[in-house]
Amino acid sequence: MKKEVDNVKNLSGGMDFGMFVITIILLCIGLVMVASASSYHALYYYGDSNYLFKRQLLFAIVGVIAMIAISKIDYKKYKKWSYLAFILAAILLLLVMTPLGVTVNGAKRWLGFGTTFRFQPSEIMKPVLSIAIATYLSRNIKKLGNIKGYIVPIIFLLIVILLMYMQKHMSGMLVLIVAGASVIFTSGIKLKLRTVMAVVLVVVLVGAAFIMAEDFRRQRLFSFWNPEQDIKDGNWQAAQSLYAIGSGGLFGRGLGQSRQKYLWLPEAQNDFIFSILGEELGFVGTSVVLGLFAFFIYKGYKIALTCKDFYGSLIASGITSVFAVQIIINIAVVTCSMPVTGMPLPFFSYGGTSLFINLCSMGVMLNISKNCNKVKE
């Protein structure tokens, strides 16, 4: 057995074998849960209980192929194209606000044509922003002695924040802020305490203004503060999520045996798929998945910390932070630890764009793990 494992590691070409394995494990579990959580929804709306699963499986297969292909591309080559990629991703975000934008569940965040073909540009921007900021910082190391050296990365981040604000996409904005900020802090930026306090104050004020500017966001916040009230309206989704997780008990009802997925829990196969996981596999199942996610995040940050190449370390930190914040917020939302917001669970939630980009990002991470220690700073 050990010989077979060693052979597989040799075929991996020196990439982080543990990161590759944990990615495939999470992907496989996610596909199983999409098949279960989406079955009744797909049967009701499409006449085929496997309709959404088959689409997700297709994106998974294409995504794994892309991941393997990208893992063979030297990440240092991205320096040449990162700024252009950022500009194109920003243009796509702008196009969302034109007639080309597609509205889904009341939110206009997609480009494409109806339900046949559409994608979410904000997903593309997540890795692109990290790579673009990392490119600038790695090319201007001598300028990073003070805050002036970070003006351009901050401008990149502000552009993205503005575009996401125009889309009214708060959860996406939060992820991109974390992505950009993690790269900046990984670079070793030195900030005075008063500067940090000022930044925190600005973020809090902007966040509060963003929430209070829209009725539905205010409603979500007030519903979170009063979870026992308005169960049939503002708190319906949160309440059904807790019912699902609570009814799972220690070992769950059994795979495929969820009751909440019968249109009781909105977005059961999307943002609230972890609730169905809790209902069907119980505390044991959710604990295993949380353990896998914890190991996944650990491996990501380990790659960032042990990477001897400044550029590779920055990219790995940004990509890992994107995964980490999505995992943490999604789990917090489904367990009613924070107000409801649309945040997919990586590798689990139904969505072709998100799954494909996540796997492409892992291709970049795998290449960094393979090549970042072959160069000297």
**Is the separation of the CB atoms in 199 and 371 below 8 Å?**
no
pLDDT of 165: 84
**Is the separation of the CB atoms in 107 and 169 below 8 Å?**
yes
| Residue whose C-alpha is closest to residue 279's, from 308, 246, 307, 304 | 246
Other Cβ atoms less than 10 A from the Cβ of 235: the count is 22
**Is the separation of the CB atoms in 135 and 310 below 8 Å?**
no
| Residue whose C-alpha is closest to residue 130's, from 63, 178, 72 | 178
Q: Is the whole-model pTM more than 0.75?
A: yes
pLDDT of 115: 61
Long-range CB contacts (within 8 A, 24+) of 298-306 = 299/16, 299/18, 299/19, 299/22, 300/19, 300/324, 300/365, 303/16, 303/19, 303/365, 303/368, 303/369, 303/372, 304/186, 306/373
pLDDT of 203: 72
Q: Are strands 101-104 and 117-119 parallel, antiparallel or unpaired?
A: unpaired
Largest CA distance in the chain: 61
| Residue whose C-alpha is closest to residue 367's, from 88, 118, 13, 21 | 13
Q: How far is CA 24 from CA 27, 28, 272, 340, 362, in A?
A: 5, 6, 21, 29, 10
Tokens of 72: 């063979």
Query: What gap in Å lies between CA 353 and CA 123, rounded to an integer?
Result: 7
Could you give the angle at which helices 352-371 and 17-37 cross, rounded to 10 degrees? 170
H-run or E-run covering 117:
strand 117-119
pLDDT of 145: 78
pLDDT by residue for the chain (377 residues), tens digit each?
Answer: 555 545 444 445 578 999 999 999 999 999 999 999 999 999 999 999 999 999 999 999 999 999 999 999 999 999 999 999 999 999 999 999 888 888 776 677 888 765 667 888 999 999 999 999 999 999 999 888 778 889 999 999 999 988 988 888 888 888 999 999 999 999 988 777 776 687 778 777 776 776 666 666 666 666 666 655 666 666 778 888 888 999 999 999 999 999 999 988 888 999 999 999 999 999 999 999 999 999 999 999 999 999 999 999 999 999 999 999 999 999 999 998 888 788 899 999 999 899 999 999 999 999 999 987 654 43
**Is the separation of the CB atoms in 348 and 273 below 8 Å?**
yes
pLDDT of 211: 67
**Is the separation of the CB atoms in 147 and 278 below 8 Å?**
no
pLDDT of 377: 39
Residues 6+ apart with CB under 8 A from 237: 265, 266, 267, 272, 340
pLDDT of 80: 94
Tokens of 187: 């670079």
Residues 6+ apart with CB under 8 A from 252: 278, 279, 280, 281, 282, 284, 285
Residues 6+ apart with CB under 8 A from 59: 352, 355, 356
Query: What gap in Å lies between CA 8 and CA 14, rounded to an integer?
Result: 10
Query: What gap in Å lies between CA 182 and CA 22, rounded to an integer?
Result: 23
| DSSP code string of 301-351 | HHHHHH-SSHHHHHHHHHHHHHHHHHHHHHHHHHTTSS-------TTTSS-
Query: What gap in Å lies between CA 200 and CA 187, rounded to an integer?
Result: 19
**Is the separation of the CB atoms in 38 and 332 below 8 Å?**
no
pLDDT of 188: 85
Domain ranges of the chain: 25-374
